[in-house]
Amino acid sequence: MGTDESKKAGDPLTQPDSGFYRELLDHLSDGVYFVDRERRIHYWNEGARRLTGYGAEEVVGRRCQDGILCHTDPSGRDVCRGQCPLASSMKDGVQHEGYLFLRHKQGRRVPIWVRVQPIRGADGSIVGAVEIFSDDTAGTEERRKVAVMQRLAFLDHLTELPNRRFLEITLQTALAEFEGQKDALGVLMVDLDNLKGINDTFGHSFGDEALKQIAKTLSSSLRPTDTVGRWGGDEFLAIVREVNRESLLLLAERCAEHVRQISIPNQNGKVLAASVSVGAALCRAEESGEDLVQRADRLLYLSKARGKNQATVE
């Protein structure tokens, strides 16, 4: 077989090595990567680097199961070591898609929408799969909200989340709606465990970085209709509508689980494994915003008294 024919019949997993296809895929805003049957990564485009923080030199040759991106489903369950969309597509030969979270190189959890197709060799057999993934955080809309809050002095400048003033106004509006329409309302009080120890061990600048990454993780863990902001210090408050006790607990546990999966590296190569304690309270009839927040705060400290790194709901 001639050289040109050999190239045409080459391994389909390495076809993007040609300059034309590499440049074409690198111009996509979506992340694209190819894996073989063992889920070993053979190709990683620039979009994947922008969305994850990892360059091709850090991931090509490694397997999904090696704990690079640590994909989880919305409930926080690890899918990389189980039947992930890539494995499912290679098993049944059809397209799979779904909503997952990955762990960014900086440590935060990022919600993504993934689409997976099997890759077939010349004989029709499945030799691998390609995954295309996109950021599902609606970044453009979030940037618009940030700009508005900056103009109105409603932004916490460290975390770029709404500040306490904004949260107090939002809570009063939500309480008025609750009193008028009786739509279920709840709040989550979230506190970073052991911030003093983090500051003492890693330094205050690293403690600030931990707060930033946790803020981004909490924001992506909640629903688009929820509002989360920095209440003060290492405390965050989330205002959640249309919930019952079960769904409120699910949201609280999701926040705790996603923060648990954070690992934030510092300049010395040390890695922080963070955790939060959560208090979750459903609003009661004729309860004031102050009373609701105080009750969530009490539940938060009950979580800490029980060993931290967990959620308590009432």
**Three-state secondary-structure class, residue 82:** coil
- Tell me the angle at which helices 195-202 and 204-221 cross, rounded to the nearest 10 degrees: 130
Q: Say which residue the tokens 């001639």 belong to.
A: 2
Q: Which of 309, 288, 96, 50 is nearest to 194 (CA)?
A: 309
Q: Find the catalytic residue in 30, 135, 191, 234.
A: 234
Three-state SS annotation for 36-69 = ECCCEEEEECHHHHHHHCCCHHHHCCCEHHHCCC
Determine whether 234 is an active site residue.
Answer: yes
List residues bridging with 270 in a β-sheet. Answer: none
Q: What are phi and psi of 113, to 5 degrees?
A: -110, 125
Q: What is the pairing mode between strands 276-282 and 311-313? A: parallel
Do 262 and 273 form a contact (C-beta atoms < 8 A)?
Answer: yes
**What b-and-e string marks burial along 28-61, b requiring 16 or more CB atoms within 10 Å of the CB?**
eebbbbbbbeebbbbbbbbbbbebbebebeebee
Catalytically annotated residues: 234
